[in-house]
Chain A
Amino acid sequence: NAGVMQNPRHLVRRRGQEARLRCSPMKGHSHVYWYRQLPEEGLKFMVYLQKENIIDESGMPKERFSAEFPKEGPSILRIQQVVRGDSAAYFCASSTGQGGNTIYFGEGSWLTVV
């Protein structure tokens, strides 16, 4: 049973370009979460999605960031017009549902903006 799969693992973008990060949840998981980790900091919640629905996006920056989890295919975190401050590790996680269901993390995608 494959774990949470994220790609690319490393992504370099120039300022002003777009970054797309993909996440395939664990088999049987329909809940996906995105977290961001800045250097030397903890993980900060960005967005929580179920299939075709954004449930909670309270941690998403208001501009340039968007996320989706379509009926078919992986979840996508999209960052438009990247700036140097977007350089971070972006972690995807998944679970079967709410409450006590354990959340499993992917290995992260490292975005570097040059």
Chain B
Amino acid sequence: AQTVTQSQPEMSVQEAETVTLSCTYDTSESDYYLFWYKQPPSRQMILVIRQEAYKQQNATENRFSVNFQKAAKSFSLKISDSQLGDAAMYFCAYRSAFNNAGNMLTFGGGTRLMVKP
């Protein structure tokens, strides 16, 4: 079974600065997908960014980018030019690419990000 670990329960960043959230995972599969979801105080789960394991290039979405290290099974999220609206819980998630391996997302325990004005 796959596991996802987020070792930072809480992080804080100054507005306009850059912060990196860590995520590691454990799997024996070679093909999979990785995601970062944001959960603001409204509690809705919002997809921030996704990465296909077969792609070497790191995904980027505006101020959000990832550092995907497949060999190390590491998938960190970098938020540049942090804004007050970035304050939320951030969850890293794994999903198998194989149809017979289950189709669910496996989530890490989350990192609470606080943004200081």
Say whether B47 contacts A102, CB under 8 Å: yes
In the assembled complex, how far is the CB of residue B44 from the closest CB belonging to chain A, in whole angstroms?
5
Task: Give the complex CA separation of A91 and B104 in angstroms.
Answer: 13
Say whether B99 contacts A103, CB under 8 Å: no
Top 6 nearest A-B pairs by Cβ distance?
A105-B45, A45-B104, A42-B107, A42-B109, A43-B107, A107-B44
B78 at the interface (CB under 8 A from A): no
Task: Give the complex CA separation of A99 and B29 in angstroms.
Answer: 13
A28 at the interface (CB under 8 A from B): no
Say whether A43 contacts B52, CB under 8 Å: no
Known contacts A42-B109, A43-B45, A107-B43; decide if A100 and B103 are in contact (CB<8 Å): no
Task: Give the complex CA separation of A43 and B43 in angstroms.
Answer: 11
Known contacts A43-B91, A99-B97, A105-B45; decide if A33 and B50 are in contact (CB<8 Å): no
Say whether B47 contacts A45, CB under 8 Å: no
Say whether B110 contacts A100, CB under 8 Å: no
A48 at the interface (CB under 8 A from B): yes
A72 at the interface (CB under 8 A from B): no
B102 at the interface (CB under 8 A from A): yes
A56 at the interface (CB under 8 A from B): yes
Using a CB–CB distance below 8 Å, which chain B residues touch chain A? 33, 37, 42-47, 50, 52, 91, 95-99, 102-110
In the assembled complex, how far is the CB of residue A37 from the closest CB belonging to chain B, in whole angstroms?
8
How many chain A residues touch B (Cβ–Cβ < 8 Å)? 26
Say whether B99 contacts A99, CB under 8 Å: yes
Say whether B45 contacts A91, CB under 8 Å: yes
| Interfacial chain A residues near B47, Cβ < 8 Å | 102, 104
Say whether A89 contacts B103, CB under 8 Å: no
In the assembled complex, how far is the CB of residue A102 from the closest CB belonging to chain B, in whole angstroms?
6
| Interfacial chain B residues near A48, Cβ < 8 Å | 102-104
Chain A positions 47-76 with a Cβ under 8 Å from a chain B Cβ: 48, 55-56, 58-59
| Interfacial chain A residues near B104, Cβ < 8 Å | 33, 45, 48, 56, 59
Contact with B along A96-114 (1 / 0, CB 8 A): 0011101111011010000
Say whether A108 contacts B43, CB under 8 Å: yes
